[in-house]
Amino acid sequence: MAFADHFSSHAAAYAAHRPTYPASLFAWLADQTPGHALAWDVATGNGQAAVALGAQFDSIYASDASAGQIEQAQAHSKVAYHVEPAERCGLADHAADLVVVGQALHWFDHARFFAEVQRVLRPRGVFAAWCYELLNVDDAVDHAVRTFYDGPIGPYWPPERRFIERGYVDIDVPFAPLDAPAFEMALSWTRSQLLAYLGTWSAVQRHHADTGEDALLAIRDSLLPLWPHDEPRTVRFPLVMRTGRAGAGER
pLDDT for the residue numbered 12: 53
Closest CA to 25 of 242, 183, 237: 183
Q: At what angle do helices 139-150 and 216-223 cross, to 10 degrees?
A: 160
What is the mean predicted confidence (pLDDT) over 32-49? Answer: 96
pLDDT for the residue numbered 18: 78
| pLDDT interval class at 15 (50, 70, 90) | low
- Report CA dihedral (26, 27, 33, 35) to the nearest 10 degrees: 110
Is the predicted pLDDT of residue 126 greater than 70, yes or no?
yes
Instruction: Tell me the helix, strand and coil percentages in the chain, rounded to 5.
Output: 35, 20, 40
**190-223 pLDDT per residue, tens:** 999 999 999 999 999 999 999 999 999 999 999 9
Are residues 29 and 35 in contact, defined by beta-carbon separation less than 8 angstroms? no
pLDDT for the residue numbered 9: 43
What is the mean predicted confidence (pLDDT) over 135-144? Answer: 98
**89-117 pLDDT per residue, tens:** 999 999 999 999 999 999 999 999 999 99
Q: How many residues does the chain have?
A: 251
Q: Which helix (H) or strand (E) holds 242?
A: strand 240-245
What is the mean predicted confidence (pLDDT) over 164-175? Answer: 96
What backbone torsions phi and psi does residue 103 show, to the nearest 5 degrees?
55, 40
As a whole-number percent, the residues of the chain with pLDDT over 90 amount to 88
Is the predicted pLDDT of residue 84 greater than 80, yes or no?
yes
What is the mean predicted confidence (pLDDT) over 18-27? Answer: 94
Q: The pTM is what? A: 0.89
pLDDT for the residue numbered 41: 98
Pick the CATH number of 8-245 from 3.40.50.150, 3.40.50.300, 3.40.190.10, 1.10.10.10: 3.40.50.150
Is the predicted pLDDT of residue 250 greater than 60, yes or no?
no
Q: Which helix (H) or strand (E) holds 12?
A: helix 11-17
- Cα distances from 30 to residues 56, 209, 234, in angstroms, run 6, 41, 28
Q: What is the mean pLDDT of the chain?
A: 92
Q: 237: which strand partners?
A: 185
Residue 153 CA to residue 251 CA, distance in Å, equals 45
In angstroms, how far apart are the furthest CA atoms of the chain? 59
In 93-249, which ranges are continuous DSSP H helix? 110-120, 139-150, 161-165, 191-198, 202-211, 216-223
As a whole-number percent, the residues of the chain with pLDDT over 70 amount to 92
Please give the residue that has the higher pLDDT: either 233 or 5.
233
